[in-house]
Amino acid sequence: MQSVSTPQRRHGLGRFAFIALLATLLSGCGVNAIPTLDEDVAAKWSQILNQYQRRADLIPNLVEVVKGYAAHERETLTAVVEARSKIAQMAIPKDILTNPDAFQMFQQNQGALTSALSRLLVSVERYPDLKASANFIALQSQLEGTENRIAVARRDYIEAVRAYNTEIRTFPGRIWKAILYSDAEAKQNFSVADEKSIADAPKIKMN
């Protein structure tokens, strides 16, 4: 059996130490920051989709309960149903976070539903029997919780996008983008106008 000579052993150890040092330096310089932040944005976006879907799932029951007590609010109910339908029919492309047109359409559709729900809940104030309904009270509570979760999910997404976009535009992130992550694109974020729509989301008055 042929033994490894001391110079060869030293060379092997030196090479291993160099690789270990290089890996440490690279990790310390933020080489993994862009993919890490990108994954965080994707996770936060998934939460937004989950919460908007939760809201959409509540609407059919809400409409049915309101219809039973406030049939005269046909126009308002129709607006809610149509806004929800438009969202359900929208195909969300895989590149929506880097596609300005698709992202803007998503914002507009969700904003339209928020506005329609707000008008519906304002009209409910004219129907004391509806407001006292156990089913309606339960739906109010669920909708309020969902709107709060939407607000939190959007806030977290906005911060995640801010961190990601800052990383790919500033040093050393822009260097790593040029070398390793040339396909990294700035992510779309919610506009100021849309932030107002979420601030004006349905306010629930519990009995």
- Using alpha carbons only, give the angle 21, 27, 31 rounded to the nearest 5 degrees: 130
What is the distance between the alpha carbons of residues 23 and 19, in angstroms, rounded to a whole number?
6
| pLDDT exceeds 90 at position 116 | yes
Burial class (CB in 10 A: 0-12, 13-18, 19+), 116: buried
Q: Are 84 and 114 in contact (CB under 8 A)?
A: no
Higher pLDDT, residue 153 or 13: 153
Instruction: Output the pLDDT for position 31.
Output: 86
- What do you get for the CA distance between the two ends of the chain, in Å? 87
For 24-38, how does the pLDDT look when each residue is reduced to its tens digit (9 = 90+)?
545 556 789 999 999
- Using alpha carbons only, give the angle 129, 130, 136 rounded to the nearest 5 degrees: 135
| pLDDT exceeds 80 at position 177 | yes
Rounded average pLDDT over 143-161: 96
For 161-170, how does the pLDDT look when each residue is reduced to its tens digit (9 = 90+)?
999 999 999 9
Instruction: Output the pLDDT for position 12.
Output: 57
What is the distance between the alpha carbons of residues 108 and 162, in angstroms, rounded to a whole number?
21
Q: Token pair of 81, please?
A: 């149903």
